[in-house]
A and B are shown apart, each in its own frame.
Chain A
Amino acid sequence: MLISSLFMRMSLTTHSFLSSFHSHLCFVISSFQMQFMLLFSRQGKLRLQKWYVPLSDKEKKKITRELVQTVLARKPKMCSFLEWRDLKIVYKRYASLYFCCATEGQDNELITLEIIHRYVELLDKYFGSVCELDIIFNFEKAYFILDEFLLGGEAQETSKKNVLKAIEQADLLQENIDFQTSLFAGTVYETPDSTCSFSSVALDCRLANNTKTGRNNTPTTS
């Protein structure tokens, strides 16, 4: 009967020994890997999500919701970095789109910021002065570019030319096949690099117009 009460007192004396033991065992290897990347609009609508760590759908949704709220609440002049839970969030706004990356605490935040920027440059080059609509309607292309640039959370290829070459090769193949099938089916399909549909801009142009801050492709230089 009294054993447990003894243990209760015990707990106070054994604790430090245990914790010192614990610190021996857990030597954590830090990683510079990116955890995930999210693109969302000023309205909080998700435009792209890429997770480099395995998480359940429920967790992903929770993280996305909380993070979008936190980032949108921040004022324009504020720091582009955030500490959130035990992650470091690096975000940047381009026109109406927020690009948001999560890394582990010890990473170099500036370089993550430049990763975002390089990705935007790639999109820009591929779509030809990209806007949110390009990404909405051709999100799979945006994913393909991302996969060529970052693989498994690490920068794979930092040469702009090489990334785009890889994408274009795959696209070229698409054109050929499209062409062949169209010969048989008798329907003409557009080539993939046709400019984005502007008829639907009507719906979204208010998003773009509401956005008083402009595209910010070149980094601020003071």
Chain B
Amino acid sequence: MSDVVEKTLTALPSLLSLDSQPGSAKLSTNSKLGSLIRGITELTSKHEEEKLIQRELSSIKEQVSSPNTTMRQMKELMVRTIYCEMLGYEATFSYIHAIKLAQQGNVLEKRVGYLAVSLFLNESHELLLLLVNTVLKDLQSTNLIEVCMALTVVSQMFPKDMIPAILPLVEEKLNHSKEIIRRKAVLALYKFYLIAPNQVQHIHNRFRKALCDKDPGVMSASLHIYLQLIQENPESYKDLTASFVTILKQVVAGKLPMDFNYHSVPAPWLQIQLLRILSLLGKSDQSTSEVMYEILDESLRRAEMNHNITYAILYECVKCIYTIHPKSELLEKAAKVIGNFVLSQRINLKYLGLKALTYVVHQDPRLALQHQMTIIECLDHPDVIIKRETLELLFRITNDQNVTVIVEKMLDFMSINKEDHTTADLVGKVAELAEKYAPDNEWFVETMNTVFSVGGDTLQPDIPNSFLKLLSEGFDDEEENKKLRLFAVNSYISLLQGEPSKLPQRFLQAICWVLGEYSHLREDVEPDLVLRLLVKLLNIKSTSSETKSWILMAMTKLCSGGAPLSVPLEVSETYSSSMDTMLRQRAQELQYLSQNPELQARVLPRGVSQEPMEVDSSLSFLDGFVSEALAAGAAPYKPPHQRQEELSRSKALSLEPYGLSLPISMSSCSIADRQSPTLLSVSSGLSGDRTDHSHKGGSTTLKLDGVRRVWGKEGYLAQRESAEETAPVEAPSPLQPLVQQGDGDASYSQTPTPIPECEQEKQQLASSLFVGLASQSSVCLMGKSEQTSQRFRRKLKDPAASFPSSTQNPLVSPPSSVGHLLLDSSISSDLISSPEQTHLSSVDLTVANGEVELPDRDMKGIKSTLLREDSALAAGSSPHEELDRPKDSCLTSHLPAELSGLPHSEITPLCTSPSLDLSSCHVQKDDSLVLLVFMKSSSDYDIQQIQVQVTCEELEVSCVCDSPVEELKSHGVVVCQYFLTVKSPSVYFVLSGMMSHQIPDNSLQETQFSHRIPLTSFLRPLRLSTEEYGTMWLAFSHDTKQNLPLMMDAEEPLTATLKVLKDKLQLHVVEIIGNEGIVACCLRQDQPCLLHCRVHAGMLAVWLRSPIPELPDCLLYHCQRALQES
């Protein structure tokens, strides 16, 4: 304060004698910026300001484009433009001039030019390309300041694609003699690493050099990179732990130059960075953690000054101590620090204390118990931020005993909170808690009602979805299910009888669904009444058309009960001419179904528990219709993206007005696919993760989001003892709240003197909030899971159970799980660097997880088929294998004539039913893959109506003849052909199929099977010239880089390696020059993938690019396998 006043006072005399001071002259009289700023300050209205600035900008515009303007004037103009932009007025015209200034000006004009560029443009701006040359020139300059400026702008923004152009120059700067240049080069490389990690992969060892730099500034800059690298892959940097510990030791001991001190704390930023790195390294790793105990203890001890900066370090220490493998002494000290934070009078520290408490409470619930009164006080804190953080903490300690109180607190907060983001977040949390710990039906439904009405339409869409799912799936007790549903119906009917127009749309949709499905449970209510309520809803103006289609759906379901038909007919008539196609469809359905009770009963069976439905996402049952339409001259279907592409290519008429209907139909149809829109909107962050845990049913009471439990033997024992100590104390009766509990903890002692009334209230609250906390911890530490306490536990569904008769055959496995795990393995193969390990782990995963329950024999079956499939390509040319298997060769004769000339894979059995054997093989055609399914009758009678359906999420499957095979003679063979094309690449494609046929006694038999095809079967060589390759390379955006083993024993390692790839994976080698080679392949003509291979340090550095996001990774996996096997 005093400084400002003083300054203002000293300024006063100079005001009287205007311009008498030399310093004032430049800015006030001469500088145009000065006069602009003063001009703006004199104005009184926003409108005037706008006029003034527009005038200013147009004059600037005129001057910058005049050829007579010198760079010097340009610099001044640019400063003024920056000012105008800061005030929020656009000056796009000046961007190009900023670049020009950076290019042509002298050093300090350049400085302003670069500043303007960094303020005006962001890294995706196209003008930035024009800067590349300037940067390149300045990096080579002999003037240090120019080099600094170039490096500064590069570390702020640089076009990703142009990094290779300047990378060598930046790399070179790592050896520069000036530390400032080295430091900036390291930061520039850090930036490159963030935007394009692949491009700096080869210089990782140079970062190590930077870490060992004698200048502390360079060293601490390199820590940014290490923090990022270690976060992604802690395993490969464990060897550096000791170095980091040594650095931290030196820093803490004050060995750095004094300049790095901040308020006499040595290099606090450096310390914090190191602590973060250590916590990542020591996470669930005992031996690494042990290395750092000493220095953590030292850091805690040294940081005792009363200053923000020491608290910042302490906070980081505490976080680190609770993240790494625990040590009881350190934990104790850390707990004390947290205590100091929480009890601090300074609000910032209190906030941080609550945050730390939230972070550690799942490891140490006693700590929350210790500070319960503080927490209660924080709940009523005038600052919402503190309140919010407290709720976050309470959320973590919720159990089935305190859930009602905590949820109530959260709902209270929501009612005063105005901010959408917070509401959405809290609503999700309440919903999660309600689902997990609801004490009874009534409470659950009512809480969910509040969630829906408060959450409104900002609600994450997965909340109503999982609510409805819970209602429909129910729990194990059927009676209980019915009660819950009935209660929901009751509550919704009364809500609709009130003022439904105020309810948010999402809520209305959920209500409609529930009423449609379950209102029949309430016998005393006529369906007519519900129908009328729904019609009322339909007539409200604010009802969105999406909600209207839910309403119509509900009506359709209700009509089956023999309700009077007039209402639905009327409604359906009104809406069957609606402009909204979705509504029209629903209205049509309603009309049709309400008149046709039989069909109605089949389509919408009532009271059937939700069996997982098999959905034919390829819509193959429409094939007949399609082929008819095609025969009648209709155009073949093209997927939307292809249409879009063609449209943009041909510049045809815009189809704008129809644009909308497309996403709608997509959203309703593609649910079965993984790219479903619902999936993308899953609530982010912790709550999302946690729901998953709960779905798996095996979740533990304490929530372990983000951090894994790191209790080792030592900490575990200590904890259990203390838990037992407190065990008799907790669960206080309402009559004697908490006094006992307080006694249990030494640090929170209370005398049993009469307590003031408000205190008593607080204590009551405390006892209801913290009830069960300690007991919970003890239960958990004893190793029991919380199965009993979780009320709305989802039914555990054994994935295999939904596939009856699948156990007969080793090849049959739930397609979903296999698909999943394969994906897992492909992910893990990316993460694990050692190629050998990758191979092993992925095979293990596939086998172990795919078919755990199967006996050994079957496992072998899988393994061998795996291998066989891989060698499938070779199979065509290895006749001896077929000789070994006479059965196959007899099937080979059934190959369709047009395919018999093409290479085909080995024929493998798919499944067997008592009367039929299914086998399959695939044949490679130029444009697609044909799957042949051989059906061989093994029975003595004729089999009728055989139908085989094959589906796969990642493949487009089209069947040549979809009509069922009418009759199969005894011991005869029929062949079905399916054309497969790739929709989205995956390492393996798992086809799931279903075969049904009739046996003589007319009963229908169904058998399911699955079949795996590796990606390699879809690969085709892509023949290109080197020029074409070059243009395509630049156009593709998705890339992956990895080192593969090289065939060192061959004469020319590169050629030999590429030949192996060519032979095994059918890649096309475009050209080999020196130690580099380029290779191309494609799945379909529009799904290419390019490989760039380079021999580097005894490895083959492969760089893959493709327009399809998943393709490079999948292909890389197969390349790896191909090279390992050879």
* Residues in chain A within 8 A of chain B (CB atoms): 1-25, 29-32, 46-52, 54-55, 57, 61, 77-86, 95-96, 108-111, 113-115, 117-118, 129, 131, 136-137, 139-140, 143-144, 147, 151-152, 154-162, 166, 169-170, 173-174, 177, 181, 189-190, 194-205, 208-209, 211-215, 217, 219-222
Contact = CB atoms under 8 A, between A and B. Distances in A.
Interface residues of B, number: 148
Contacts of B760: none
A131 B157 CA distance: 30
B5 A199 contact: no
B1031 interface: no
Given A81-B385, A110-B312, A114-B262, A51 B269 contact: no
A171 to B, nearest CB: 9
Interface string B683-705: 01100110110011000000000
Given A159-B257, A173-B108, A213-B1, A13 B469 contact: yes
Contacts of B224: 154
A194 B26 contact: yes
B984 interface: no
Contact of A194 (B22, B87, B665): B22
Interface of B: 1-5, 7-8, 10-12, 14-15, 18-19, 21-28, 31, 33-34, 37-38, 41-42, 72, 79, 82-83, 86-88, 90, 106-108, 111-112, 115, 118-119, 122-124, 145, 148, 152, 155-157, 180, 183-184, 187, 190-191, 194, 216-217, 220-221, 224, 227-228, 231-232, 257, 259-260, 262, 267-270, 272, 276, 306-309, 311-312, 315-316, 345-348, 350-352, 382-383, 385-386, 388, 419, 421-422, 462, 465-466, 468-469, 472-473, 553, 556, 585, 588-589, 592, 603-604, 610, 612-613, 615, 619, 665, 668-669, 671-672, 674, 676, 678-680, 682, 684-685, 688-689, 691-692, 695-696, 794, 816, 820, 823-824, 827
B108 A113 contact: no
Contacts of B269: 111, 115, 155, 158
Given A152-B187, A199-B19, A139 B692 contact: no
Contacts of A110: 308-309, 311-312, 315, 348, 352
A47 B307 CA distance: 29
A183 B1113 CA distance: 64
A114 B5 CA distance: 25
A19 B259 contact: no
Given A7-B615, A199-B18, 12 more contacts: A3-B619, A10-B672, A14-B672, A25-B827, A114-B309, A144-B115, A154-B224, A197-B28, A198-B15, A201-B8, A203-B38, A214-B2
A218 to B, nearest CB: 9
A116 to B, nearest CB: 11
Contact of B145 (A32, A114, A173): A173
Given A12-B468, A173-B107, A204-B41, A219 B345 contact: no
A197 B24 contact: yes
B349 to A, nearest CB: 8
B521 to A, nearest CB: 18
Given A55-B122, A158-B262, A159-B257, A21 B820 contact: yes
Contacts of B610: 9, 12-13
B227 A199 contact: no
Contacts of B307: 219, 221
A143 B15 CA distance: 28
B8 A48 contact: no
Closest 6 CB pairs of A and B: A214-B1, A198-B11, A197-B27, A110-B312, A54-B122, A159-B259
Given A110-B312, A162-B259, A46 B3 contact: no
22 contacts: A1-B588, A7-B671, A10-B613, A10-B615, A20-B696, A21-B674, A24-B827, A79-B386, A109-B348, A114-B262, A137-B31, A140-B82, A158-B220, A158-B260, A170-B148, A173-B145, A174-B107, A190-B22, A201-B11, A208-B7, A208-B8, A217-B3
Contact of B585 (A1, A22, A221): A1
Nearest to A19: B682
A51 B689 CA distance: 31
A49 B582 CA distance: 47
A201 B15 contact: yes
B383 A177 contact: no
A82 B187 CA distance: 29
B346 A77 contact: no
A140 to B, nearest CB: 6
A215 B5 CA distance: 9
Contacts of A219: 307-308
B778 to A, nearest CB: 30
Contacts of A198: 10-11, 14-15, 21, 23-24
A205 B11 contact: yes
A190 B308 contact: no
B424 to A, nearest CB: 10
A205 B14 CA distance: 13
Contacts of B31: 137
A52 to B, nearest CB: 8
A21 B8 CA distance: 63
Contacts of A55: 122
B262 A118 contact: yes
A173 B106 CA distance: 10
B674 A221 contact: no
Contact of B180 (A1, A10, A162): A162
B79 A140 contact: yes
Contacts of A114: 262, 268, 308-309, 312
B469 A12 contact: yes
A197 B619 contact: no
A78 B385 contact: yes
Nearest to B612: A13
B300 to A, nearest CB: 16
Contact of A30 (B24, B108, B231): B231
A19 B695 CA distance: 10
Contact of B232 (A7, A29, A136, A173): A29
Given A49-B86, A152-B190, A9 B588 contact: no
B466 A86 contact: no
Nearest to B381: A79
B235 to A, nearest CB: 15
Given A82-B385, A151-B152, A5 B3 contact: no
Contacts of A211: 4
B7 to A, nearest CB: 6
Most A C-beta atoms less than 10 A away, residue of B152, B257, B386 = B152
A208 B823 CA distance: 62
Given A7-B672, A19-B692, A162-B259, A222 B108 contact: no
Contacts of B232: 29
Contacts of A140: 79, 82, 112, 115
Nearest to B351: A79
Contacts of B684: 86
A46 B22 CA distance: 29
B254 to A, nearest CB: 14
Given A23-B689, A214-B2, A131 B37 contact: no
A169 to B, nearest CB: 7
Contacts of B469: 12-13, 15-16
Contacts of B10: 198
Given A110-B352, A211-B4, A7 B668 contact: yes
A155 B619 CA distance: 56
Contacts of B183: 156-157
A202 B15 contact: yes
B42 A203 contact: yes
B881 to A, nearest CB: 37
B279 to A, nearest CB: 12
Given A19-B679, A19-B691, A169 B145 contact: yes
Given A9-B613, A12-B610, A199-B14, A158 B270 contact: yes
